[in-house]
Structure 1
Amino acid sequence: MRGAASLCPAILVLLLGVIPRAQAPSPETATPTPQVEPPLPSAGAQLPYSVVVIDPGHGGEDIGTRGVAGTEEKTITLAIAQRVKTLLESSLGVRVVLTRSDDRRVSFDERAAIANNSRAGLFLSLHLNSSPNPASAGAEVIQLRQGRLAGGRGRVVDDESVALPAPGGTTRTVDLVRWETAQARHLDASAALAETLEAQLRTRVTMSARPALDLPLRVLPSVNMPAVVLEMAYLSNAGEEGLVQSDSYQDNIAQAIHDTVVQFSALAEERESR
């Protein structure tokens, strides 16, 4: 054993002598590191919410507006909503709730109830516009402001707190959100959502001369989450009527909504961390 031990240094020297050392590549031959695109956010990991509500306007006997060539608003809004659902669920992993998935009429209150019961992170209602002026064109984003919820009294009605019986003979206080003014607590977030969506649309489609509007649309006041309406084009404009039926235009709208969801989620996370 003593003799074998004395051979170890010599063997190590021989091994070190014959094992080549790795040579660093010269600057001329170095392989550049490939640029890896950042992964898309996945629900639960990146997004602060896991549900998005898309509301295809009209349906059933309520066709919405009709284009100069006969295109019905209800058909286009559903087609684009389904396209958005496929894109968001496949790339972001969020669950997309449609307020209707077929050709049926859904009341405004039903749409709001579907959205509120889903506990979604945002609500986006899809529509198409119309005007007596056939030259009117472009997309528009519509939101509510506080004055639209005031009911003529100059202020939003406060939510109510009620005491309900609890086990042990005690009571618990529950805050009740008034149905007709549920949107009031989300007006700032809805404004941020509208601004984000408008910016994303502007890089992909023609925007109206008045791209951001404040209108008292019936579907918005009862939605208890950030919510906006998107008027995607004017069916009364013959050019836009044809355009909005094309795959490329519908893809552009869907991609703008996708990127809005990603960007708005970052804003939502920032607000929650404050």
Structure 2
Amino acid sequence: MKKGKTIRLIRIMLLMGFLLPGLAFFEGGRAARAALPSAQALLQSGDACRKSLLQSPGKKKFRENWLGCIETYSRIYTLYPDKDESAWALYHAARLYRDMFEVSRLPSDIEEALKLFQRLLDQYPEHRLADDALFGMADIYENQRKDLTQAYLEYLKVTIRYPDGDMRPYASKRLDALSKAMSSAQESSATGGKQTAEDAAAEESPVRTGGGPDVKPARTPSGKARVTDIRHWSTPSYTRVVVDLSAPIKYQEHLLKADPDANKPRRFYIDLENAVVPAEINPLIPIKDDLLQKARAGQYDKDTVRVVLDMKKVGRYKVFHLYDPFRIVVDVQRLEEKEAVAAAPKTSAPAKQRAVQKGVRKAEKPGSDSVSLARQLGLGVNRIVIDPGHGGKDPGCIGHGSLREKDVTLSLAKVLAAEIKKELGCEVILTRTKDVYLPLERRTAIANMEKADLFISLHVNAHRDSRVHGLETYFLNMALDENAMMVAARENATSEKSISDLQNILNDLMMNTKINESSRLAYQVQGGMVQRLKRGYKEVRDLGVKQAPFYVLIGAQMPAILVEIGFITNGSERKRLPTTTYQNRVAQGISAGIKSYVQEMTAAYKGG
């Protein structure tokens, strides 16, 4: 035999010597797996174990019996993660841990239940059991953890994520029940508090009839809600009326035509069910502008309060309600004939010639020779209202070292006003220029009364996890994820439970809201901020543009956004937020975003 062939033969023999044991091992492994029970068989075994356990009070006393059934289910989602049976195994194992907690009272059992429900959601988000798992988590938060706010949020996720799921009606019922429970808890714990003189002055409207803080119980002994105040802010083209109540109620709106023979103007009225008007409330509120003559409230019958608005030149109106405290908001606009002039570019009258709402100060106006970029482009974006979030008795988020959101937003608003004036030549109006409290509905009213072309509300974010950081910008719409819901709930000074209630009213409100323009403005401002901050800072995180139902944006008649400029709960961003350098860069970014928005809208307008 030739030497080359001999060498090749030796190599083949050596190779076979290595392969044969491996092949034998492989065959043995395959045989071992073939000997394993199928996923279906394991599921049947687990189900039999579970049913036997739950039907036997004696067996339920011993932990090993629970763990034995759980172990059977564990083998399924460990060995067969791609099988349908795995989702069922995760679901039943989670429920067993939850039920075992009722015997053991070990917090670790509840934690395991939540983990397994979450694992099912993560691995099988479209499975028929996904909504059951989410409902199971909500049930744990409600009944085992007694965390009603988190429970409400989880039930809300069921209705949003799985609107066609079989658990949606059950989740809706739990939402209604929790809403009542949480409202009752808030009412029973409600206490009055004294305002500072500065807060009271800032909160004062042209007509304020409530006579001070309501320290009475939320409802009368007969269960009726009290009308606690009627407020309004008004101009010749826009009026906002707010009816404050001590507790949530149902209401109906009606419109009556004018009756010249009886010398009665066109009237709009709201019937408040199960409500009363206390003696200290002034029943007659003179308004006397080109829209409304007066508003009056009276006890129509023993169970109904009727609030009537006598109208003059009213075109459109919107009615909606807000929570914590419950109040009904009526926005009234001038007749359509006025709108024919609105398309023409606006020119600002000298500041001294225009009445300025109390508590509102304009930034220094550009000189008569300056022409704004927006005006050059022909879009009429000449007046911008900047809203520093929170203020006065409402500090907003508070970080370590007593850093307060209300202080950061006010400082930034002043920097931003100067930046916009310098770069764009626009007039800027601040909703507040000092540390005073403003109701959210008044901030929007200011923007509408001043006929702003853009409205930007400034805020600082917070999160339970201190590692979370970044910037995000919002426009008005329903929240699409739980984080957005939580941010909106915090900025609305309300609980997550009230966010879902806005779904019903937002459908109507969106008809006249500039969603598309607000969305474009949000994207440009978000991009401008991130770009400018990345030039000077590391680890600048872009959290993107989101949508949520912020009270301060509801009813705005112009493109409106809410900007979260960082997290006060994150160590790095907390150090940056109060610094001049950081605020200057944020202001430059927002201003650049506004400029890009104007250019984009101009291009779209010319292209159209």
Instruction: Tell me, yes or no, whether TM beats 0.5.
Output: yes
Q: Name the CA distance, whole Å, in 2 between partners of 1:195 and 1:99.
A: 23
Offset of residue 56 of structure 1: 0.3
SS at match of 2:375: coil
Aligned length: 213
Q: Name the CA distance, whole Å, in 2 between partners of 1:210 and 1:182.
A: 25
* Higher RCO (CA-CA < 8 Å; seq separation 6+): 1
Aligned runs of 1:112-127 on 2, under 5 Å?
112-127=444-459
1:42 maps to which of 364, 370, 373: 373
Offset of residue 246 of structure 1: 1.4
In the alignment, is the contact (CA less than 8 A) between 1:60 and 1:103 conserved in 2?
A: yes
2:36 counterpart residue number: none
2:528 counterpart residue number: 200
Give 1:60's aligned amino acid.
G
1:63 counterpart residue number: 395
2:519 counterpart residue number: 191
Give 1:80's aligned amino acid.
L
Alpha-carbon spacing, 1:155–1:72, altered in 2? closer, same or farther (3 Å): closer
2:601 counterpart residue number: 268
Alpha-carbon spacing, 1:113–1:153, altered in 2? closer, same or farther (3 Å): closer
Aligned runs of 1:108-257 on 2, under 5 Å?
108-145=440-477, 151-153=502-504, 156-157=507-508, 181=509, 184-205=512-533, 207-208=540-541, 210-257=543-590
Alpha-carbon spacing, 1:183–1:58, altered in 2? closer, same or farther (3 Å): farther
2:157 counterpart residue number: none
Q: Report sequence identity in percent.
A: 27
Give 1:267's aligned amino acid.
E
Q: Name the CA distance, whole Å, in 1 between partners of 2:566 and 2:503.
A: 32
> Which deviations, in whole Å up to 9, do the C-alpha atoms of 1:218-274 show, x marking residues without a partner?
111111111111100100112211111111111110101111121111223234442
Offset of residue 41 of structure 1: 5.1
SS at match of 2:524: helix
Give 1:138's aligned amino acid.
G
SS at match of 2:587: helix
Alpha-carbon spacing, 1:150–1:193, altered in 2? closer, same or farther (3 Å): farther
Pick the structure with greater CA Rg: 2
Give 5+ residue unaligned stretches, structure 2: 1-369, 480-498, 534-538
After TM superposition, the structure 1 stretch with the greater mean CA deviation from structure 2, 182-191 or 103-112, is 182-191
In the alignment, is the contact (CA less than 8 A) between 2:477 and 2:506 conserved in 1?
A: no
Q: TM-score scaled by structure 2?
A: 0.33
2:415 counterpart residue number: 83
Give 1:156's aligned amino acid.
N
Q: Name the CA distance, whole Å, in 2 between partners of 1:267 and 1:78.
A: 29
Give 2:377's aligned amino acid.
Q
SS at match of 2:377: coil
1:169 counterpart residue number: none
SS at match of 2:513: helix
Task: Tell me which protein shows more helix as a share of its residues.
Answer: 2
Alpha-carbon spacing, 1:151–1:95, altered in 2? closer, same or farther (3 Å): same
